[in-house]
């Protein structure tokens, strides 16, 4: 390793940002791979965001992650974006190259990376996925599932118009269903994904009857507080495979680390335990 101070610097930019686990994840990988670099937390209010991003290089940063509420503004400030970020209209990973700001959106890749690691072979059946919710996470997940070749995706959201917007923008076999129909939609589904905040600590439970899900189905929840949601517990009780939101949190960090520090990092069991322990201790 080089002496302190010589390394590359990245950061996570958010408002608020204190809750972000990105520093823990990237700092773990920097130590794990013996890379001289650092990863900070930057609390930046919306009105200060543009100036902060334009000053990244001057502050010694080579890039960073962007979290709420800045993902759309980050996308607009990029000189160049990946096709994924372009389709989603939002960026969560920024890097400087040739003096210009580049952006990617790794939420969908993180979602798939988690399924691949935690429910290996889940995509042997790709006929129908049911996605609950229609926020930014749902948009990225629908996009990723289409890229993976899912034959049919049904989006069900309390506010139906938001689901319709996702379907209209997706440019693939995406349908919309009423929120009240969510339990019935599960007949024949290969994958159920909860992208709503329901089931999170402090939020109402996700009221859904899993009876109709086939025994081969996989259930994924992007909620990670608690680590095992009621949805995942009930899926496990039925013998279904469940994937927790921690996996997506960990895997969405992989492409950024590769861009900034030149190594493709592995989501190790040790890293997962570290982050899970932090989540448990802070809630
Ligand atoms: P994100 O961008 O992180 O996905 P979001 O845009 O706030 O977050 O989306 C949260 C999702 O949870 C939405 O689909 C929201 O439904 P609406 O679009 O109708 O707001 C859903 N959600 C939150 N609280 C809910 C509740 N009590 N019942 C049903 N859905 C709920």
Q: Report yes or no: 136 and 89 within 8 Å, Cβ to Cβ.
A: no
* Superfamily holding 109-247: NAD(P)-binding Rossmann-like Domain (3.40.50.720)
Side-chain half-sphere exposure of 48, counting CA atoms within 13 A? 9
Report the length, in residues, of the chain. 283
Which residues of the chain form CATH 3.40.50.10860? 8-106+253-282
pLDDT reading at 2 higher than 70: no
pLDDT at 32: 98
Q: Report which protein residue has its CA nearest ligand 1's atom 18.
A: 159
Which residues of the chain form CATH 3.40.50.720? 109-247
Cβ–ligand 1 contact at 136 (below 6 Å): yes
Probe target for ligand 1 pocket from 71, 111, 133, with the most ligand atoms within 8 Å of CB: 133
Q: CB 46: neighbour CB atoms within 10 A?
A: 10
How far away, in angstroms, is 198 Cα from ligand 1 center?
8
Give domain 8-106+253-282's CATH number out of 3.40.50.10860, 3.40.640.10, 3.20.20.370, 3.40.190.10: 3.40.50.10860
Mean pLDDT taken over the chain? 96
pLDDT at 1: 41
Per-residue pLDDT of 19-46, as tens digits, reads 999 999 999 999 999 999 999 999 999 9
Ligand 1, closest atom to CA 136?
2
Per-residue pLDDT of 194-250, as tens digits, reads 999 999 999 999 999 999 999 999 999 999 999 999 999 999 999 999 999 999 999
Per-residue pLDDT of 87-135, as tens digits, reads 999 999 999 999 999 999 999 999 999 999 999 999 999 999 999 999 9
Probe target for ligand 1 pocket from 14, 177, 196, with the most ligand atoms within 8 Å of CB: 196
pLDDT reading at 5 higher than 60: no
Strands of 61-66's sheet in order across: 37-43, 8-14, 61-66, 93-97, 100-104, 80-81
Cβ–ligand 1 contact at 132 (below 6 Å): no
pLDDT reading at 3 higher than 50: no
């Amino acid at each position: 390793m080089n002496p302190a101070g010589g390394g590359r610097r990245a950061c996570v930019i958010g408002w608020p940002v204190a809750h972000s686990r990105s520093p823990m994840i990237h700092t773990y990988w920097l130590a794990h791979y013996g890379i001289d670099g650092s990863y900070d937390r930057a609390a930046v209010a919306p009105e200060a965001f543009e100036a902060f991003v334009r000053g990244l290089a001057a502050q010694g940063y080579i890039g960073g992650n962007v979290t709420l509420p800045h993902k759309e503004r980050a996308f607009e400030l990029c000189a160049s974006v990946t096709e994924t970020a372009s389709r989603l209209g939002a960026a969560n990973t920024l890097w400087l190259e040739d003096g210009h700001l580049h952006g990617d959106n790794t939420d969908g890749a993180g979602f798939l990376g988690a399924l691949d690691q935690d429910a290996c072979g889940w995509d042997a059946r790709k006929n129908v996925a049911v996605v609950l919710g229609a926020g930014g996470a749902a948009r990225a997940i629908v996009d990723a599932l289409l890229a993976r070749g899912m034959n049919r995706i049904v989006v069900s959201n309390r506010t139906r118009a938001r689901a319709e917007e996702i379907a209209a923008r997706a440019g693939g076999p995406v349908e919309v269903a009423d929120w009240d129909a969510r339990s019935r939609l599960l007949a024949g589904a290969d994958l159920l994904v909860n992208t709503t905040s329901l089931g999170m600590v402090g939020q109402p439970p996700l009221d859904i009857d899993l009876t109709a899900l086939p025994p081969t189905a996989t259930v994924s929840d992007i909620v990670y507080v608690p680590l095992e949601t009621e949805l995942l517990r009930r899926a496990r009780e039925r013998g279904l495979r469940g994937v927790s939101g921690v996996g997506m949190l960990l895997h969405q960090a992989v492409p950024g680390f590769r861009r900034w520090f030149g190594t493709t990092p592995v989501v190790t069991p040790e890293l997962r335990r570290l982050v899970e322990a932090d989540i448990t201790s802070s809630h």
